[in-house]
Structure 1
Amino acid sequence: MTPDAIRAVRGARHALAEAVREAVRTGHLAPGTRLPSSRRLATDLGLARNTVADAYADLVAEGWLAARSGSGTLVAGRMITRPISARSVADRSGATCEDLIPASPDLAAFPRVAWLKATRRALAAAPDDALGYGDPRGRPELRVAIADHLARSRGVCVSAEDVLICAGVSHGLQIMSKVLAGRGARNVAVESYGLAGHWSLLEVAGLQTLPLPFDVHGTDPVPPDGTDAVLLTPAHQFPVGTTLQRDRRTAVVDWAGRTGGLVVEDDYDGELRYDRQSVGALQGLDPESVVYLGTASQTLAPGLRLAWMALPPRLVGDAVAAKGQIDSCDVFSQLTMAEFITSGAYDHHVRAARRRYRDRRDALITALAQHAPRVRAIGTSAGLQTVLGLPPGTGQRVLQSAARQGLRVADLSRYRHERAMSAMADALVVGYGTPSDAAWPQELSALVRILS
């Protein structure tokens, strides 16, 4: 290697190390943040892997980073020594607003290369009739793949014949609203906290929504007499984050079997659990009484418009009629998703996503403990959002401070049903899945600043 080449390598190593130091000093990289692997960062920056590995080694030796077996390279537990000003947040790269509203996963992390490979394989193998109008339930390849995947990962008991593909959970709820109304249902019990858009879909179909009681253990799911159906997020209640307790799971299924009522299970992020094995789907307790709704919106991207329903056989005909007599979901996405699942690429992606979001959650909890110890994180065992319980009487002040600093956060009250009997104290709902890996440290720093 020539002297000029050696100087260039040393210069790149020094520049990278200094960039990481500065990011840690200013809070762009929060304590506990996991850095990309040396291979990945080298590829992204166009550097030799050894250059990145040597820079990491320097920073570990200096105490800026920590290398942990099985966990990669993390930012060491240092205090943020020079907080970013509100002005710098607004001025950076022309951005004016940072977004921590729960909505979607990190879209920059979508597995484009793996998805493209799956698309090529799927199209090469697809029969000609795949390009026709198709079965209204969806492509058989995807229904078979989904039935097998749900059995393995979520304990769902369903035949591929009883799987229906839809364009998102909202589409699935729209279909179920028509099914329930068509069978004479008048109302649906819903959780006290949830998505108003989902309640609206039920109400548009003529169904009254009845908020269920909510206590320190979460939702009490057994509805009053005269209720026709129940809509729940049992694995990870949205947005509060509680898991439906075992006795309550059993009780609501017993209610359905006893009364002929129906339970609609929205398992929107059931695969994103971090501290222990995922809680099995409620559907496995009684496949005849529970309609299961799953989606790729949280694990992959909402723009795919892919979700699925595991239906009791007695409801399949009604659901098909409510959806329409042709398959209205994009066939190429369906074929690709089927290949993505059967090849193992989906499982690989979900495992990587769990690690990424668990690291973000850990960084959030660490930062709160260091800088805002009076703020309590709730519902952190799964998913892409958490509720932050605030000191009494501070909610409006925190929201105003966030608005001034260009940070979008959601007040928990925006998710409360207007007829709910109980209300939680001041709290924020923070979506830590939405920012990109590059943006997350700065958004975390901005959040901690308003909370402290």
Structure 2
Amino acid sequence: MAKPWATSGIDLHLEPTGGGVRRGLTDALREAVRTGRLAPGTRLPSSRALATDLGLARNTVADAYADLVAEGWLTARQGSGTRVSDRTVVPPAGAAGAAGAAGAAGAAGAVGAAPRPREPGRPTHNLAPGIPDLASFPRAEWLKAARRALATAPYQVLDYGDPRGRVELRTALAEYLSRARGVRADPDRILVCAGISHGLRLLGAVLRARGARTVAVESYGLDVHWKLLAAAGLRTVPLPFDERGTDPRELTDQDAVLLTPAHQFPMGGTLHRDRRSAVVEWARRTGGLVVEDDYDGEFRYDRQPVGALQGLDPDHVVHAGTASKSLAPGLRLGWLVLPPGLMEEVLAAKGDIDTCGALDQLTLAEFLTSGAYDRHVRAARLRYRRRRDALVAELARRAPRVHATGIAAGLHVVLRLPPGTEQPALRAAAWQGLAIHGLHRYQHPDAVVERRDALVVGYGTPPDHAWSGALEALCAVLPE
């Protein structure tokens, strides 16, 4: 039979000190509440359970609770138990410096004080690209899928898993990617990873282990990806860029190339079909590896869907996908569709362990096979298209000198500005509390490209109720 202390109530760590048992317990409870270790609203163990845990008489605990209720630290109601009262938390002494700094910052923003910059990362409106509308995450449908997945999952699911990922998810992804993106996928050649950055870290390690030295990249892209490759010991070499997208003619002795062919990030175009063929031909001729980042391939508005580059040559192209844009980045679920013979090397780089939670993988598998994923994507596509249309219409009315490009797909748009106006627009945006990025931020440091003044505007992030306000703030900082 289990010991009472092992099964009763919640765990509560207390170290009664001071004169007398009752006083020591009262002081320890008061200090835990005062410093925030017991958060407001926390339900405390019953007096019987806590007395058993601490080896005290029940009356001692009951009296300590009564003292703290009288002092206002706790509340006690019939049927609701004893809970921590709502009150201001005093930080412990070790945090005094941080608290003092925070207090000084707050004072600087008081009426009559000099204005201070807004807190980093806490803008009034966030139009940075790369994040979907998190408020529209399909919670109810996801919960249903999680319940169905958990109800039918064998208990072995909770053991250490296949380092490639759950077979249920790999099978569901193979069907979906083949149907929706034109990927030639087999479940045995799919590896589940914690997002595209994780997948790129694994591929970088594999390339370096093979003796690779350089990876060709696009002139515009994400510096985090270039840094991941650099951390693997690889040098990134930017390729030329023009109105037809990335130009592969300078692909020569590089060992691999990283592209966003379906929707170039951040410029927004689609890689021309002749250049798609040229990239594949280079890989076949040289044995080079093509890494295709298909980060938001589901979202297109004014054009037919562009199939995955991997469909042209599964033996030389790695297809990298993610649920970060279609669902939420916090899920940390991505996938690599690997060419034959590459799986063992990637698993070795991964450490032969599964890095994603089995229950989340099963939930996504259920979400895909039940059709809930398709329904969510279609609804999101309509919502984002309406936002894009409102943005384009408002620009035409209030900022006719600003030209929106790359608007046929995705969750962001590039706003071409008059020469010399990018930096003033960014400064005005910071003053307005508007998070927005300039195009220069995404230019590879070694790229030789024509200077373009532009803003990269993500219209996916704001929730629906905040979109009009975000659009108003954007137009206020643009050159009229």
Q: Distance in 2 between matches of 1:331 and 1:277?
A: 35
Identify which of 307, 327, 352 aligns with 1:325.
352
Q: Distance in 2 between matches of 1:413 and 1:320?
A: 36
8 Å CA contact 2:239, 2:248 repeated in 1: yes
Q: Distance in 2 between matches of 1:298 and 1:423?
A: 30
For residue 328 of structure 1, report the CA deviation from its aligned partner.
Answer: 1.3
TM-score (norm 2): 0.74
Q: Distance in 2 between matches of 1:238 and 1:224?
A: 19
> What is the aligned partner in structure 1 of residue 22 from structure 2?
none
8 Å CA contact 1:107, 1:436 repeated in 2: yes
> What is the aligned partner in structure 1 of residue 170 from structure 2?
143
The range that moved more, 134-143 or 420-429, is 420-429
> What is the aligned partner in structure 1 of residue 244 from structure 2?
217
> What is the aligned partner in structure 1 of residue 311 from structure 2?
284
What residue ranges of structure 2 are gaps of 5+ in the alignment? 1-116
> What is the aligned partner in structure 1 of residue 9 from structure 2?
none
For 1:390-409, what aligned pairs fall within 5 Å after superposition?
390-409=417-436
CA distances 1:35-80 after superposition (whole Å, capped 9, x unpaired)? xxxxxxxxxxxxxxxxxxxxxxxxxxxxxxxxxxxxxxxxxxxxxx
> What is the aligned partner in structure 2 of residue 111 from structure 1?
138
8 Å CA contact 1:412, 1:428 repeated in 2: yes
Please give the secondary structure, in 1, of the residue aligned with 2:341. Answer: helix
Q: Establish whether residue 194 from structure 1 lines up as the match of residue 224 from structure 2.
A: no
Please give the secondary structure, in 2, of the residue aligned with 1:102. Answer: coil
> What is the aligned partner in structure 2 of residue 340 from structure 1?
367
1:425 partner letter: R
Q: Establish whether residue 312 from structure 1 lines up as the match of residue 339 from structure 2.
A: yes
Max Rg structure: 2
For residue 221 of structure 1, report the CA deviation from its aligned partner.
Answer: 2.8
> What is the aligned partner in structure 1 of residue 380 from structure 2?
353
Identify which of 92, 101, 107 aligns with 2:128.
101
What residue ranges of structure 1 are gaps of 5+ in the alignment? 1-89
Identify which of 366, 370, 384 aligns with 2:393.
366
CA distances 1:185-243 after superposition (whole Å, capped 9, x unpaired)? 11100001100000000010000000010112221134432111000000000011010
Please give the secondary structure, in 1, of the residue aligned with 2:474. Answer: helix
Q: Distance in 2 between matches of 1:193 and 1:353?
A: 26
Q: Distance in 2 between matches of 1:155 and 1:252?
A: 18
Q: Distance in 2 between matches of 1:302 and 1:221?
A: 31
> What is the aligned partner in structure 2 of residue 180 from structure 1?
207
1:141–1:222 CA distance, 2 compared to 1 (3 A): farther
Q: Distance in 1 between matches of 2:234 and 2:222?
A: 16
2:323 partner letter: A
2:168 partner letter: E
Q: Distance in 2 between matches of 1:365 and 1:107?
A: 23
Q: Distance in 1 between matches of 2:161 and 2:233?
A: 30
For 1:64-103, what aligned pairs fall within 5 Å after superposition?
97-103=124-130
Q: Distance in 1 between matches of 2:177 and 2:423?
A: 42
For residue 313 of structure 1, report the CA deviation from its aligned partner.
Answer: 1.6
TM-score (norm 1): 0.78
8 Å CA contact 2:251, 2:282 repeated in 1: no
Please give the secondary structure, in 2, of the residue aligned with 1:263. Answer: strand
The range that moved more, 188-197 or 324-333, is 324-333
8 Å CA contact 1:222, 1:255 repeated in 2: no
Please give the secondary structure, in 1, of the residue aligned with 2:342. Answer: helix
Please give the secondary structure, in 2, of the residue aligned with 1:334. Answer: helix
Q: How many residues align?
A: 360
8 Å CA contact 1:166, 1:307 repeated in 2: yes
Q: Distance in 2 between matches of 1:234 and 1:445?
A: 32
> What is the aligned partner in structure 1 of residue 455 from structure 2?
428
Q: Distance in 2 between matches of 1:321 and 1:402?
A: 46
> What is the aligned partner in structure 2 of residue 297 from structure 1?
324
The RMSD of aligned alpha carbons is 1.3
Q: Establish whether residue 416 from structure 1 lines up as the match of residue 453 from structure 2.
A: no
1:442 partner letter: G
1:113 partner letter: A
Greater relative contact order, per chain length (Cα 8 Å cut-off, separation 6+): 1
2:354 partner letter: D
* Identity value in percent: 63
Identify which of 453, 463, 467 aligns with 1:440.
467
CA distances 1:385-417 after superposition (whole Å, capped 9, x unpaired)? 111000112222212221221111101001110
For residue 254 of structure 1, report the CA deviation from its aligned partner.
Answer: 0.4
Q: Distance in 2 between matches of 1:319 and 1:404?
A: 46
8 Å CA contact 2:247, 2:275 repeated in 1: yes
For 1:22-37, what aligned pairs fall within 5 Å after superposition?
none
